[in-house]
Amino acid sequence: MSHQKNMQVMDFLLSRRSDSARTLVKPAPDGKSLEKILTAAARTPDHGKLIPWRFLVLKNQVLLKIATSIHEIGRAKQIDQEKLRKNVDIFSNAPLIVAVVSSPRSNEKIPLIEQQLSAGAVCLALLNASHADGWGANWLTGWMSHDKSFLETVFDLSEQEFVAGFIHIGTRTTQSVERPRPDLKKITSWL
């Protein structure tokens, strides 16, 4: 096979950046458009083909219900009030969120960490697929993504599962600003 460049994809990867979730509005991708984005995200390296992740598509009334649960459960857990207000706001106003659930399988050969890393890779793939399809997107977590009792009560997750990312997807209202990127020399050793 000859070496074939795909400059469009390379340019995309060299300029990709997230949007701030609070700047995203409706419309959000729906139906076929979202299915295509999720299909691209599910095309992610997965050692042993275990598919150790799954998606929860959250929209409309469900987001408002989750925001109420964040408020109630967060208060009971004495989460910092300012942090809680931000969490509630962001869920109440989100056009669409896809929760990427890390859902590891019991397997003798594939370590848990590799299955969890694959879930993280799905989050980036989902972010990039959303951007490639013209949407704004942002990967967020917060205390809700790891809190076992919150996850069981609100999403019915099992003991081994957690949310690797709440991926906010919607229409951009602003151009996101670039942030400093790592100095390659500092993070790379050429051995």
Residues at the interface with ligand FMN (CB under 6 A): 17-18, 138-142, 165, 179
Minimum Å gap between C-beta 110 and ligand FMN is 21
- Give the whole-angstrom CA distance, residue 129 versus residue 168: 12
- The smaller minimum CB distance to ligand FMN, of residues 4 and 188, is found at 188
In three-state form (DSSP H/G/I as H, E/B as E, the rest C), the secondary structure along 108-136 is CCCCHHHHHHHHHHHHHHHHHHHHHCCCE
Task: State the minimum distance, in angstroms, from the CB of residue 27 to ligand FMN.
Answer: 21
Length of the chain measured in residues: 191
User: Least distance (Å) from ligand FMN to the CB of residue 109?
Assistant: 26
DSSP at 92: H
* Between 21 and 34, CB nearer to ligand FMN: 21
65: part of which helix (H) or strand (E)?
helix 61-76
Nearest CB to ligand FMN, comparing residues 177 and 191: 177
**Closest residue to ligand FMN in the complex (CB):** 18
In the complex, the smallest distance separating the C-beta of residue 145 from ligand FMN, rounded to whole angstroms, is 8
Query: Rg of the chain over CA atoms, in angstroms?
Result: 18
Alpha-carbon span 96 to 63, nearest angstrom? 8
Nearer to ligand FMN, 35 or 81 (CB): 81
